[in-house]
Structure 1
């Protein structure tokens, strides 16, 4: 019996890894807010969560052809730099207000994942103790 290899644990783990990569990108953007010619980076990793969910026994029923299918297109987190914008006189495109908002959003996302994992471990601990 594989307690920690279930699709939900794997999806939570992938989510945490993605949040870490996003945290690193946001931190780099904030650190380079005044660096000439620096281009802000964004991270997309939700396709990884979809992939993990699709690998497991999770299936969705489409009741209408217009509903989205669960699918994945890429094999890893996508880190992109936006080369087409410029917010500052030094060719830098880091918007510190946006980055701080993204930082807060990522922290909330991370805390939600940690809370869910903690709940899973608490449930296992209750089972091990015999319901006490």
Structure 2
């Protein structure tokens, strides 16, 4: 469906994917809170997205995937980054359970907000297509 193939929906799809990946990474960090020498990881997405959105560049419109790319498309993907520099515990582990639980709650709120936005947009399209009757 062409309506759902717009940049806004694609961005929300990538944001949901990043939130899902972040949930898995944080759960892994929590599961390994007492594992010696375990180093926590985190997902970088919003920072990369903000960087891409801040860079103003001209991008050409392509009607066929075989056309030349003009400009640089803003399609950041989430990346997992391991923190090897810090140590929290005597066993060289750097997972702080309170921080990880707060990250998990924040991520859940972000995920729920994006899902509500997607549901609201789809509801608007349904109303526009089918009418209120």
Q: Which bracket does the TM-score occupy, shorter chain normalised? A: 0.7 to 0.9
TM-score in terms of structure 1 length: 0.77
Secondary structure at the aligned position of 1:17 is classed as helix
Q: Which residue of 2 aligns with 1:35?
A: 35
> What residue ranges of structure 2 are gaps of 5+ in the alignment?
60-72
Pair 75,110 (structure 1): closer, same or farther in 2 beyond 3 Å: closer
Kept in 2: contact 1:22–1:43 (CA 8 A) = yes
Q: How many residues align?
A: 117
TM-score in terms of structure 2 length: 0.77
Q: Equivalent residues in 2 for 1:56-71 (5 A)?
A: none
Q: Which residue of 1 aligns with 2:68?
A: none
Pair 87,105 (structure 1): closer, same or farther in 2 beyond 3 Å: same
> What residue ranges of structure 1 are gaps of 5+ in the alignment?
58-70
Secondary structure at the aligned position of 1:128 is classed as helix
In structure 1, distance between residues paired with 2:96 and 2:128: 48
**Which ranges of 4 or more aligned residues in structure 1 deviate by more than 6 Å?**
none
Q: Which residue of 2 aligns with 1:64?
A: none
* Aligned CA-pair RMSD: 2.7
Kept in 2: contact 1:11–1:49 (CA 8 A) = no
